[in-house]
Amino acid sequence: MEKIKMSCPCHFGLESVLKFEIGRIGGEDISAKDGRVSFTGSFRTLTKANLCLSTAERVLIVLSEFKAENPKELIEAADRIPFEDYIGRNDRFPVKGHSLNSSLHSVPACQSIIKKAAVNRLSKKYGITSFNETGALFQIQFSILNDNVTVYLDSSGEGLHKRGYRKNSNDAPIKETLAAGIIDLAHIRKDSIFYDPFCGSGTFLIEAAYKAMNIAPGLKRTFAAEQWGISDPKLWEEERASALAAIKRDNDFFAYGYDIDPEAAALSIENCRKAGIGNRAEVRQADIHDFRYEYENAVTVCNPPYGERLLELKEAENLYNVMGKKFGSTQNHPCFIITPHEQFEQFFGKTADKKRKLYNGMIKCQLYMYYN
Ligand SMILES: C[S@@+](CC[C@H](N)C(=O)[O-])C[C@H]1O[C@@H](n2cnc3c(N)ncnc32)[C@H](O)[C@@H]1O
């Protein structure tokens, strides 16, 4: 198979982090725009992307890109998409998508046009008219934005934030892919001493350890493309073996996690164990009021409660005040705090050296970065 064009959606604000990651796995022609990074590569690059990218939401193959302002144009362009290059005679090929600011605004109508185009191409190739669709999953996705249509095949299956380590979660866990991006921005190194004093289910502790030890986040799971007829199982085996060989165990990374809720602390311990980094983290139940650093140069990353209701908001603001006092000299203790509270710095008592707008789900947040 020749060069494949791929596209990975990511959290808004993390495009540059993902771009760098894609460069590291050998992606070419990389370009980033509005929560998405596109690149080209081989099927091996696609395998690596699924296994190794920590901030991508999924790895999509770009089947076709075209402009269409009416059903006729969509039908003509969809009929030219070589679905048969990927999809086998028994495979499942559901279609889903979305449309924004476009003349083709009926998603079900577009869905059925694209499905019909796929059926026609596959009928011609396999000489059949009915499809049992019991085989491997080829999720077809389309996006229509300002009359520009892109048709994709999803090679990941479950979203890449599902690393396979977090079976349980507490009330407000941060998404793994967002946590990984923040860890990258915090420049976690192989010998970092790391703190999360509001660790909840332990996401930052685990993503920090993965980064420090170079553990590929997809090692504990499988991907839709592994089931595809065109996929070579040896390729996945080889890439898994090389990701395993690339893990760096000879370093001093260590993470400390605290949470006032004993159940959250227990959950963190369990999740760190499941993630395979139990020996790199110490977690216990503790209130931020009792927090103190035991090491110089330790890096702190956290998403403290932000309080949605008024009373909770006051409590959250008090916590920010305590954090400002506890985190002390930022030079020796860089800290990175994500919160949607717009007056965070005022309560924390210090102006951030840098801020970055990030979305935690639908919530607009800032990452407040203190390192000078
Ligand atoms: C937004 S959650 C953190 C989620 C976490 N990053 C994760 O991925 O699961 C905030 C956490 O702060 C904890 N918390 C609230 N007040 C605290 C306090 N005074 N001291 C320490 N932890 C506290 C809560 O129990 C909750 O688990």
- Decide: residue 116, CB within 10 A, 0-12 exposed, 13-18 middle, 19+ buried: middle
Which CATH number does the domain housing residue 112 bear?
A: 3.30.2130.30
Pocket probe for ligand 1: among 183, 258, 259, 320, the residue whose CB has the most ligand atoms within 8 Å is 259
Per-residue pLDDT of the chain (372 residues; tens, 9 = 90+): 689 999 999 999 999 999 999 999 999 999 999 899 999 999 999 999 999 999 999 999 999 999 999 999 999 999 999 999 999 999 999 999 999 999 999 999 999 999 999 999 999 999 998 999 999 999 999 999 999 999 999 999 999 999 988 766 666 789 999 999 999 999 999 999 999 999 999 999 999 999 999 999 999 999 999 999 999 999 999 999 999 999 999 999 999 999 999 999 999 999 999 999 999 999 999 999 999 998 888 999 999 998 876 668 899 999 999 999 999 766 689 999 999 999 999 999 999 999 999 998 888 999 999 987
Predicted pLDDT at 7: 98
332 within some domain? yes
User: CB–CB of 248/214 below 8 Å?
Assistant: yes
263 and 312 in a single domain? The answer is yes
For residue 17, how far is its CA from the centre of ligand 1 (angstroms)? 26
Predicted pLDDT at 334: 95
54 and 118 in a single domain? The answer is yes
User: CB–CB of 156/225 below 8 Å?
Assistant: yes
What is the value of pTM for the model shown? 0.95
> pLDDT tens across 205-214, in order?
999 999 999 9
User: For the residues of 224-267, what is the DSSP string, one character each?
Assistant: GGGG-TTS-HHHHHHHHHHHHHT---SS--EEEEEESSHHHHHH
279: which residues sit within 8 A by CB, 6+ positions away?
Answer: none
191 within some domain? yes
227 within some domain? no
Q: Return the biggest CA–CA distance within the chain.
A: 72
| Pairing label, strands 281-285, 254-259 | parallel
Predicted pLDDT at 2: 80
For residue 77, how far is its CA from the centre of ligand 1 (angstroms)? 50
288 lines ligand 1 (CB under 6 A): yes
Beta bridge partners of 32: 37
Which CATH number does the domain housing residue 287 bear?
A: 3.40.50.150
CA angle in degrees (0–180, nearest 5) for 37-39-41? 145
181 and 299 in a single domain? The answer is yes
287 within some domain? yes
> pLDDT tens across 217-232, in order?
999 999 999 999 999 9
263 within some domain? yes
305 lines ligand 1 (CB under 6 A): yes
170 within some domain? no
Question: Of 154, 184, 205, which marks where a domain is finished?
Answer: 154
Predicted pLDDT at 166: 77
Predicted pLDDT at 310: 62
Pocket probe for ligand 1: among 176, 177, 198, 290, the residue whose CB has the most ligand atoms within 8 Å is 198
190 and 83 in a single domain? The answer is no
Sheet containing 4-9: order of strands: 28-32, 36-41, 4-9, 60-67, 148-154, 139-145, 95-100
52 and 85 in a single domain? The answer is yes
98 and 190 in a single domain? The answer is no
8 within some domain? yes
For residue 87, how far is its CA from the centre of ligand 1 (angstroms)? 45
327 and 186 in a single domain? The answer is yes
49 and 180 in a single domain? The answer is no
For residue 287, how far is its CA from the centre of ligand 1 (angstroms)? 9
207 and 95 in a single domain? The answer is no
- What does the alpha-carbon distance between residue 198 and residue 53 come to, in Å, rounded to a whole number? 26
270 and 335 in a single domain? The answer is yes
Predicted pLDDT at 134: 96
171 within some domain? no
Beta bridge partners of 367: 338, 356
For residue 200, how far is its CA from the centre of ligand 1 (angstroms)? 5
356 and 300 in a single domain? The answer is yes
113 and 193 in a single domain? The answer is no
172 lines ligand 1 (CB under 6 A): yes
| Pairing label, strands 335-339, 354-360 | unpaired
Q: Count of domains in the chain?
A: 2
Whose structure tokens read 């985190």?
327
Residue-range definition of the domain harbouring residue 312: 176-215+249-370
